[in-house]
Every structure is written in structure tokens, then in C-alpha cells.
Chains A and B, each alone.
Chain A
């Protein structure tokens, strides 16, 4: 099992579907999964560290290093952060889906409309 302590908060079905749709081989899908994974970690950690007082950063990172999948890390964050960190993470992820997939799909459908428009124009 490869688990990160906030995995259960991630709602990424839409991303999964888009990747499945465009990948012709498993290698292609795995490459995109990896990029998405890295983007999520950067974003979630950025938001966690922003909320967590700096004096706890080192301690939190040490704990993460020894057990990245331990859900007790969330309890630790809940103790040290005023706002509800689970809600914050969920919101960050929802915004990320919007950025990486919704915007992409809009872009793609626009370019398809544009190119199909060209095909049907008669001079």
C-alpha cells in the first residue's frame, strides 16, 4: 500500500476519467497519474504549511517522513491549526480539479469546435 495521510480526502474521479480517455497505453496513464500526484502533494503541503505556525513545520515534516500514511498526522494538524484542515484540503483539491481538468476540457472542446467549423466552411 502506498498511502499518504490525506488520500481519503481526495475526490479525483473526474481527473481519473480524463486520463483514461486520452491515454492509449498504460505507460501513458501512469505518467499522467504521477504528474497529478506530484501537483496534489505540492498544493496540499503548500496549504498545510501556510496554515501551520512555522515553529511546528520541522516537527510535522519529521513525523511525515517517518510515517507518510499515518492518519494521526491529521490529528496533529487539527490540534495546531485553528481552521478545519480537512475542509481546507478538500477545497484545495476541488479547486485543483477545476484548474487541471475543467479548464483543459473547455480548451479542448473550443479547439475542436474551431477545427470542425473549418471543415464545414465552403468557399
Chain B
């Protein structure tokens, strides 16, 4: 039986009911496991409490420990075999410079991937300042885009992690999936809830092409786990809203400039970032669901860098920012 538009309130009510039921169900389980743990392991419980790392605070504690390690550059937490001696910045730049000749299109991308392999650890982890600085130089040299791991004093908990496929976001009340294009990009569907910053526009008429692009090329980062997220509001919320980032697939060198438009994913998903269907398709093709990426802020005070694919591999060398010596 078709559903009358006027009855969509029934869906909303049902959803609210489902949320409340799941919340209650989880809360009861949470109460049970807490009680059980405390009774079975009273000493461990007291230890964790004393150290201020009870299980509801353990994620923010972990983020603090990791960012302190990355800042000091010590990487104490990484297994020794994962710490590689970094190549010197000038060596990398030299490799990107061609003596008088032409660099084959596509070859630049291969060179980038090889350089990334040399710089990055085998498994995704928080990078050290030195590693990040080196990558910033490589990206600027190869793609001509100035990017920063640390911009205006802000830094993500990690800049090297796994990205996962996200759904389209509703841009205004009443927005539906079929308004988001056609073909493969519709396969992921539209998220049932809103993004962390709500609707992009108050109604369809207010949706500018710039806002349309922001949803099309959007990124998700874990603002919820930033150690100071709660204490530095509303500043951080405003700072991160639609902040431009460059996302580089470390396996194939594909790169996209995207706008941050949602918060997540949950830490226990094993992913650290998310990308809109368009972002994911460009990074790895239509079947790409998860993979390692680098995410840096784009340093673009004059708002000149457009959102979307960074097609450095299709440009002639001077346009791509490669110096020919």
C-alpha cells in the first residue's frame, strides 16, 4: 500500500521509538556489564578509577597519549619494526625534478605512491611531526596544493588511517536520494539521520551550488574524539564545519579535496575517516569501501582550491607544480 506524504510522521515516530528501545536495551546491558566487572574484578576497577581511565573515558585518554607521542616525535607506541628512517626532503624533491625532459603522465602518480611507501609505516597509525612535514612537502610539490597536518593550531587525532564509505546526506528538509545524481553514486543510499552540522540549507531554494558541492565532496572526521572537543565549544564546531581537507589514497595516489560535513565514524569500526559516495568512487572506484588514506587540512585562506578530484596526474608538469630543472 503506498504511503501518503502526510503520514511521514508515522516513520518519524517509529524511528524515535526504535531509538528509545535500542537505547534502553543498550543501557540495561551497560549497567549489567559494569556491575559484573566491578564485582568480579574489584581491584582492577579501583585501579582504573584511581587513574581516571574508567571505560567511558578510555578513548579520550588514548587520544591524549597518542597525540603526546606524535608531538614529541618519539613514537614510543610503535613497534620498532614500524619506525623507518625517513628519506631526506631534498632527496624526494630531486626525484620529482626531471632533467630537461618530460615526465610521463601517470608516472608522477606512480612516483608519489612509491614515495608514500617509503615514508609511511606498514600499518596506519598517528604520524610523527617529521613524517607529516615530509608529506606536506611531497603533496605540495606533486599536486601544487598547500596542505597542513596542523593548521592554525588544530590537528586531527590521526592524519593516517582508514576511510570508509558513507551515504549521501540530506541537504535540506525533504531532500531525497534521487536528487543526488544518477548511477553508481546512488548505490550507497541516503543517511537516515542528519550530518553533525545538520542540514546544509534551510530549503531547496537556499541550496547554492557551493553547498551542493560540499555535500557531493564531503569528508567525515572523528571530531567527537578530539581531546578538547567539549571544552573548546563553539569554536571547534565552527572551525571544523566545511573545513577543506585533502584526502590521498596511499595505495594508488588518487587525491580529492573535500569539505568536512560530518563527525565519525565510531572508533570501534576500525575506520578513522569517511567519504561521500563521490569521494570514495574517485579515490578507489565504485567498489571501494575501505582503505588507507592521508588526511591533511588544505591551507587555502583565499578559498581558491576547488572541491573535488585533484587531477595532478593529468596536468602538464609545470601546472602540476613539478619543477623541471
Binding site for B on A (CB under 8 A): 1-4, 7-8, 10, 12-13, 16, 18-26, 28-43, 45-46, 49-50, 57-58, 61, 65-72, 99-100, 103-104, 107-108
Contact = CB atoms under 8 A, between A and B. Distances in A.
Contacts of A57: 41, 43-44
Interface string B247-269: 00000000000000011111111
Nearest to B222: A2
B77 interface: yes
A40 B270 CA distance: 14
B61 interface: yes
Interface residues of B, number: 62
B29 A100 contact: yes
A41 B224 CA distance: 18
Q: Counting chain B CB atoms within 10 Å of each CB, which of A13, A20, A50 scores highest?
A: A20
A contacts with B: majority SS = helix
Interface in B1-37: 12, 15-16, 18-19, 21-23, 25-27, 29-30, 33-34, 36-37
Interface string B222-266: 101100000000000000000000000000000000000011111
A58 to B, nearest CB: 7
A40 B266 CA distance: 13
Given A28-B19, A42-B33, A34 B56 contact: yes
Contact of A100 (B19, B25, B225, B269): B25
A103 B21 CA distance: 12
B63 A61 contact: no
Contacts of A45: 37, 41, 44, 55
18 contacts: A2-B62, A3-B66, A3-B267, A13-B269, A22-B18, A24-B194, A30-B264, A31-B23, A34-B56, A41-B58, A42-B37, A43-B33, A46-B40, A50-B40, A57-B44, A68-B65, A69-B65, A69-B77
Nearest to A20: B192
B269 A16 contact: yes
Given A40-B268, A45-B55, A107-B25, 12 more contacts: A8-B270, A19-B22, A20-B192, A22-B192, A23-B19, A30-B224, A31-B23, A33-B266, A49-B40, A68-B62, A69-B66, A108-B21
